[in-house]
């Protein structure tokens, strides 16, 4: 182990109290926290826009998004001492809105109740040995597939935000219009951020976002305006707090929705944390922090929070302790007063960081045994279906169902554990129930 590796290992194990005392560590963690915040800051605008389709007022769900993220990051920082940012998840908010409310016809109040019940089950799993059993029950090849799949998903998201890819007329995707100012700005940001990254410039991601944003302002390149909301509107925020409706809790649609959301929360969070945590020893407490925050988010009036994949941006910027998530949480608090200013940080400035982060996560493909079809094909399904379906849970489901089937077909069922069988069966139920919903 070389000197750099030893220093990184020491940083991963550094207690929060000692991290705060070291000036160099504090500087690195602050930069990482700010970088992670800007990488995920789009959620402040995007999440309320998605929840609007469920009927939750945009000018109120903005506060729910920010407050749940603030609380989640503080819990993650102080309890788990992990550099992970917790925010309302993009996949689960789509399930909340378009499956539970739009497709199933339930109200947003009932959807919040479903979120709360699912999160309670999540908390029970996180604070018992079930989490360890499930974590050990995931084969290494599937863990690598989860990380790579999420990475490819991030690359897709980044390319879309950069407008480098778009929906094709005769194909699923096509090259974007390279003459658009926003696309050219994103290409500039990508080249600049890549240069800073390969030169190992401290805070390179944050510098890339900042410089690209300034260039965008100078050339008048910006996204659509953020929600029309000011800090004064927080006086009406109580209108969506603790509004979960449990009147139909014993009905079949409610129960099925709880099952599906629980599967998404538990395994998406587990997959994300397994994929981005620099110190696996912090997984247990990080998983617990995620579950508690998910529960609180339902009370606060938003879809469940999960560990943000964009946390990898903060980690790549040097974040190793809970100080990173605490800084990100404080940035969410500050954003309450500067919501309109977020419009000056265009998606073109954020996209390069997301693309590079996703590419780095895909190096986990090297851990997959490509010479064993029964090993790599389930991982392959995870990698391709996560971005192709824009659903982490769908990719996980197909991969976990395929793994035991192929092992049994190959006559190697001795490699399977009880947890693997249970996970495969649960994910099969998830696919069937999702198709029936």
| Domain ranges (residues) in the chain | 3-359, 369-436
Integer CA distances (angstroms), 320 to 4, 6, 30, 278, 431, in order: 14, 13, 11, 7, 36
User: Vertex 183, ends 178 and 188: CA angle to 5°?
Assistant: 105
Cα gap 42→224, rounded to integer Å: 12
- In degrees and rounded to multiples of 5, residue 175 shows phi and psi of -65, 135
Q: Is it the case that residue 47 has pLDDT exceeding 80?
A: yes
DSSP 128-140: STHHHHHHHHS-H
Residue 46's pLDDT band (boundaries 50, 70, 90)? confident
Dig out the tokens for 160 from the structure.
């879309």
What's the confidence (pLDDT) of residue 8?
A: 59
What interhelical angle do 58-75 and 322-335 show, nearest 10? 160
Residues near 375 by beta carbon (within 8 Å), at least 6 away in sequence: 139, 141, 368, 369
What would the pLDDT profile of 285-315 be if each residue is shown by its tens digit?
999 999 999 999 999 999 999 998 889 888 8
Residues near 387 by beta carbon (within 8 Å), at least 6 away in sequence: 149, 152, 153, 155, 156
Q: Give 307's strand partners.
A: 86
Least confidently predicted of 82-86, 201-205, 243-247, 385-389 = 201-205
What would the pLDDT profile of 182-223 be if each residue is shown by its tens digit?
999 999 999 999 999 898 776 788 888 889 999 999 998 877
**Nearest to 244, CA basis, from 56, 66, 88, 87:** 56
Cα gap 82→66, rounded to integer Å: 20
**Nearest to 42, CA basis, from 272, 178, 219, 209:** 209
């Amino acid at each position: 182990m070389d000197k750099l590796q030893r220093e990184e290992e020491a940083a991963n194990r550094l207690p929060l109290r000692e991290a705060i005392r070291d000036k160099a560590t504090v500087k690195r963690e602050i930069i990482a926290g700010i970088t992670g915040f800007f990488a995920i800051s789009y959620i402040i605008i995007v999440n309320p826009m998605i929840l609007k389709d469920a009927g939750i007022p945009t000018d109120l769900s903005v506060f729910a998004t920010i407050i749940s993220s603030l609380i989640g990051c503080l819990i993650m920082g102080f309890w788990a001492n992990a550099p992970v940012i917790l925010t309302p998840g993009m996949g689960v908010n789509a399930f909340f809105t378009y499956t539970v409310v739009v497709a199933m016809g339930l109200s947003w109040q009932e959807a919040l109740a479903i979120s709360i019940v699912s999160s309670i089950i999540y908390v029970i799993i996180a604070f018992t040995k079930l989490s360890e059993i499930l974590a050990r029950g995931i084969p290494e090849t599937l863990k690598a597939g989860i990380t790579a799949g999420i990475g490819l998903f991030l690359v897709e998201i980044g390319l879309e935000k950069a407008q480098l890819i778009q929906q094709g007329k005769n194909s699923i995707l096509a090259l974007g219009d390279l003459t658009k100012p926003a696309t050219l700005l994103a290409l500039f940001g990508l080249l600049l951020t890549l240069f800073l990254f390969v030169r190992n410039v401290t805070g390179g991601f944050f510098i890339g976002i900042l410089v690209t944003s300034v260039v965008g302002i100078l050339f008048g390149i910006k996204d659509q305006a953020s929600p029309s909301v000011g800090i004064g509107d927080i006086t009406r925020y109580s209108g969506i707090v603790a509004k979960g409706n449990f009147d139909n809790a014993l009905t079949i649609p409610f129960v099925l929705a709880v099952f599906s959301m629980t599967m998404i929360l538990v395994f998406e969070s587990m997959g994300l944390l397994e994929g981005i945590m620099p110190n696996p020893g912090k997984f247990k407490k990080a998983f617990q922090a995620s579950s508690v925050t998910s529960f609180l988010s339902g009370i606060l009036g938003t879809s469940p929070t999960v560990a943000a994949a964009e946390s990898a941006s903060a980690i790549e910027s040097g974040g190793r302790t809970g100080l990173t998530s605490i800084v990100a949480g404080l940035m969410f608090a500050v954003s309450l007063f500067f919501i309109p200013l977020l419009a000056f940080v265009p998606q073109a400035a954020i996209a390069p960081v997301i693309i590079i982060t996703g590419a780095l996560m895909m190096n986990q493909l090297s851990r997959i045994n490509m010479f064993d079809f029964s090993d790599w094909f389930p991982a392959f399904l995870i990698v391709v279906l996560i971005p192709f379906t824009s659903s982490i849970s769908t990719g996980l489901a197909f991969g976990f169902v395929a793994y035991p089937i192929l092992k049994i077909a190959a006559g190697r069922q001795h490699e399977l554990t009880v947890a693997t069988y249970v996970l495969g069966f649960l994910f099969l139920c998830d696919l069937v129930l999702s198709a029936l919903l």
